[in-house]
Amino acid sequence: MHCWEWHEFEDATDEVPEPDEMDPYTFGEVQLPRVHVARQFWAGKLETGHRYVVGFVKIEEQSVLDGFLGVTLHKDQPLTIPDSGAWVVTFDLADGENDYAHVEIDSKAKKDLVVEVACAVYDHYNVTKAGLYFWIASREELLSIYDTALGFDVDRATKLKSIPMTFNFQRLGQNGRGYAIVTRYY
């Protein structure tokens, strides 16, 4: 449907879904391939930086959305999976460097990381015109970064490339680590 290569995304959608017994949402059920795209990028200087990968997986199940964000109201209605598409955003170190454990990065790398993830979301939105993006912060220290990136920190202005006309949500879900961006195509 979309030419992902044009927009510097790798289309990683499996034609035949690989069973993942650890995934409670596909084990034992009829598996449909989840649309999955990803992009790698470098954050930081050549000597001290790291490669990261940011991925987008299209979610069709309301239960997944509820599991991530809990019951979240938007315009007095619970958030649901829109027809325009709902995508969960994930990012991590690109390879097994440091066994995927957390690595300390300098300020330039942090800035590059945030900028690149924001650009990836923006570019993905330009391709898909999706209605909803959501994710959870994997660590507590990422909460303040996401709060700032989505404009919730009034003391720190951000110059990130951002999707226009969105409703942003912070600290959602049972553990308060869920985030969501509702676009105008919701």
Binds other proteins (CB under 8 A): choice among 19, 33, 78, 102 = 102
Contact between 88 and other proteins (CB under 8 A)? yes
Q: How far is the CB of 176 from other proteins (least distance, A)?
A: 9
Which residues ranging from 17 to 76 are in contact with other proteins (CB under 8 A)?
A: 20, 22-25, 34, 36, 38, 40, 42, 46-47, 51, 53, 55, 57, 64, 67-68
Q: How far is the CB of 184 from other proteins (least distance, A)?
A: 25
According to DSSP, residue 48 is labeled T
Binds other proteins (CB under 8 A): choice among 15, 83, 140, 155 = 140
**Among 30, 24, 91, which Cα is nearest to 64's?**
24
Binds other proteins (CB under 8 A): choice among 2, 8, 60, 156 = 8
Distance in angstroms (rounded) separating the CA atoms of residues 72 and 76: 9
Contact between 139 and other proteins (CB under 8 A)? yes
Query: Which are the contacts of 53, defined by CB distance < 8 A and separation ≥ 6?
Result: 38, 39, 40, 41, 91, 92, 93, 94
Distance in angstroms (rounded) separating the CA atoms of residues 97 and 10: 21
Contact between 81 and other proteins (CB under 8 A)? no
Distance in angstroms (rounded) separating the CA atoms of residues 91 and 153: 22
